[in-house]
Amino acid sequence: STGQAGHAKIVADQFAEYFRKCTVMENGKVKAFCYQVGDGGEDHAYWGSPEAQPGPRQALFATSSNPCTDIVGLSAASLAANYVNFGNTEDLTYAKALYEFAKTNNKAVGSEGIGDFYISKSWEDDIAFAAAWLYKATGDSQYKSDVDEYRNIVKAASGNPYWDETMNSWSYCWNGVWPGVNALM
């Protein structure tokens, strides 16, 4: 109603394109995902635009041996959300592939190169968020079952038989997306 839908689509599509370009695919499967370019310490010490920052920039990748389940899960969720909102089937293809990569590899929070800058506390909420968005995008009940599985993993780990995902995150933020999962489910 504000006339900003076209502009919102342009902005969201730029993020989606970035996530797709960060994804290294081989035969329709994710081989790697570039989750970070740069170094937090160096980047915060430099006062200037990123384009003018001197020196080489490191690129860090999620792989089967460094799965970064949290980051890959949130990226898959973002692409699935963009598909739901704007219908780009390429976004859905990449979202499914990234989710499958996160689901089938060992689970771990991405930490290499991140240091103390925005390190996640868990991966379960992030991959559950991806599954919830994919469930909304596709209607495939396997994604709904996966959300329940990730909830049960955290419940069992908590040792509290009355745990629910609202106990793990009191507000929606980058480090606690259970409220987003709840809203979608």
Residues of the chain with pLDDT under 50: none
Are 77 and 130 spatial neighbours (Cβ–Cβ below 8 Å)? yes
Tens of pLDDT along 10-59?
999 999 999 999 999 999 999 999 999 888 888 888 999 988 988 888 89
In 3D space, the residue among 75, 88, 70 whose CA is nearest the CA of residue 9 turns out to be 88
Tokens of 108: 């771990």
Q: What pTM value is reported for the model?
A: 0.91
Residue 33, pLDDT score? 98
Task: Look at residue 17 in the predicted model and tell me its pLDDT.
Answer: 98
The confidence score (pLDDT) of residue 67 equals: 93
The pLDDT of residue 178 is 87
Residues sharing a CB contact under 8 Å with residue 177, sequence separation 6 or more, in sequence order? 74, 77, 125, 126, 128, 129, 169
156 class by beta-carbon count within 10 Å (0-12 exposed, 13-18 middle, 19+ buried): exposed
Task: Provide the pLDDT for residue 12.
Answer: 96
Q: Is 177 within 8 Å of 169 (Cβ atoms)?
A: yes
Q: Where are the alpha helices (DSSP H) in the chain?
A: 5-21, 40-45, 69-86, 89-104, 124-138, 141-158, 178-184
Contact yes or no for 32/24 (Cβ under 8 A): yes
